[in-house]
Amino acid sequence: MTLRKRRLLIVTCVISLAANVCAANRSARAEEHGEHGEHGEEEGKIELSAESMTQLGLTVLAAGPARLNVPLTLTGKLMPHEDRVAHVTPRFSGVIREVRKRLGDPVGRGETVAVVENNQTLQPYEVKAQIPGVVVRRHATVGESVSDASALFDVADYSELFADFFVFPGDYAKVRLGQRVLIRFPDERVAESSITFLSPVTDAETQSRFVRAVLPNPAATFHAGMFVTGDIVLEEATVAVAVANSALRTSEGKVVVFVEGEAGHFEAHPVLTGRRDKDATEILKGLQAGDRYAAGNTFILQAELEKGEAEHEH
C-alpha cells in the first residue's frame, strides 16, 4: 500500500470515528433532555466531552503571545564540502603492487592507501591520503599501470556539508548573507545554520540562483545527496495573540477558529490572520489572549458544523 493510500485510509477512519462519536454525543444529549429526534445543541455550536476530544485527536490550547519565525521555504540538496574532497594520485608513473583501502573504509591524514612500483627506479613507494575521511571512490587495482595524473582514490570528509538551496527571481531580494536557515529533513529532523554564500549567477535553464549554508555533521548523521528544505528566516517577531496552525479552518470563505465556551461547547469564530510560521499564526482580530480554542484534527469540527447547518436548513 502506498503512503498516499495509507494516509487516505487513516483520514477516512478518523472521519468515521468522528461521525460515530458526534452521533453518540447527540443521542446522549437527546435522551438526557427528552428530545426525540431534535438537536440539543444551539445552532453553530458543537459539544464534545473530554473523552471524545481525546478520541478524535483534539486538544484545547490558549491563544496568547508567540515568537514567530516568518520563513521563505526553499528546496535544496546536501552537497560535499568542496574543500574536504581529495583525489589521491601517485607521485610517479608505475604499477600498483598493493591496495590497502576499499570503498567505504575510513582513512586518516597521511595514511598509506596503496603501494606503487616506480617505473624508473623499480622501487616501491607508498601513496598516502592528503586528508582524513572516507573512501568514496576507488579506481585502483593491483597490477594496473598508472601515471602521475591517475586518481587512485577519492577521499571525502563529511564532517561538514554544504546545504544548497535554489531561489527563483521573485525571491532574490529577500535573501541576504547571514540569515538564519532551518534545514528540514524528510524524517522531520531540523538543523540550524545561516546563509554563507549567494550565487551571483542565474541558471540559464531554471532561472534560479543557489544559496548555500554550512551544515556541521560531526557524527555523520546527514549524507551528501539528501534532498532537504530550508526555511530562511525573513522576520522574527513577537506577536500578542497567536494560535496553532492546526486550529485554522475555512468556513463559508472565512478563516475560523473553534473557540471553547461553557460546558464544553465549541463555536466557530471568524478571525483575521497576520504573519505565520511553520507552527503558529498571528491573530489580528477575532480572538483575545487567554481564549481557549481547539487544535489538532479540527477538520472534524468543521465537518460537524457544516453537517449541523445542512440539517437546520432542512
Nearest to 279 by CA among 246, 302, 309, 250: 246
CATH superfamily of 71-81+159-236: Efflux pump adaptor protein, beta barrel domain (2.40.30.170)
How much is the pLDDT for 306?
77
d(C-alpha 304, C-alpha 292), whole Å = 19
DSSP assignment of 199-261: -S---TTT--EEEEEEEE-TT--S-TT-EEEEEEEEEEEEEEEEEEGGGEEEETTEEEEEEE-
What are the phi and psi torsion angles at 48 (to 5°)?
-135, 140
d(C-alpha 283, C-alpha 214), whole Å = 35
How much is the pLDDT for 252?
84
What residue ranges of the chain are covered by domains with CATH 2.40.50.100? 82-156
d(C-alpha 138, C-alpha 208), whole Å = 34
Per-residue pLDDT reduced to its tens digit, 10-69: 444 444 555 455 544 554 444 554 444 333 446 568 888 888 888 889 999 999 999 998
Q: Is the pLDDT of residue 311 over 60?
A: no
Per-residue pLDDT reduced to its tens digit, 152-206: 999 999 999 999 999 999 999 999 999 999 999 999 899 999 999 999 999 999 9
What the block records as the C-alpha cell of 261 is 465556551
d(C-alpha 145, C-alpha 164), whole Å = 38
The top-level CATH class assigned to 82-156 is mainly beta
| CA angle, 50 then 251 then 259, to 5° | 35
Give 251's strand partners: 254
d(C-alpha 156, C-alpha 163), whole Å = 16
- Radius of gyration over alpha carbons of the chain, in Å? 30
End-to-end CA distance of the chain: 40
Q: Is the pLDDT of residue 107 over 50?
A: yes
How much is the pLDDT for 4?
46
> CB 60: neighbour CB atoms within 10 A?
17
The top-level CATH class assigned to 3-67+238-313 is mainly beta
Q: Identify the residue with better confidence: 12 or 222.
A: 222
What residue ranges of the chain are covered by domains with CATH 2.40.30.170? 71-81+159-236
Nearest to 249 by CA among 284, 301, 311, 290: 301
Q: What is the mean pLDDT of the chain?
A: 86
Q: Are 261 and 293 in contact (CB under 8 A)?
A: no
What residue ranges of the chain are covered by domains with CATH 2.40.420.20? 3-67+238-313
Nearest to 107 by CA among 134, 88, 141, 84: 134
Question: What's the pTM?
Answer: 0.66
The CA-atom distances, in angstroms, between 21 and each of 14, 133, 257, 281 are 10, 58, 21, 29
Q: Which residue has the cell 540538496?
A: 77
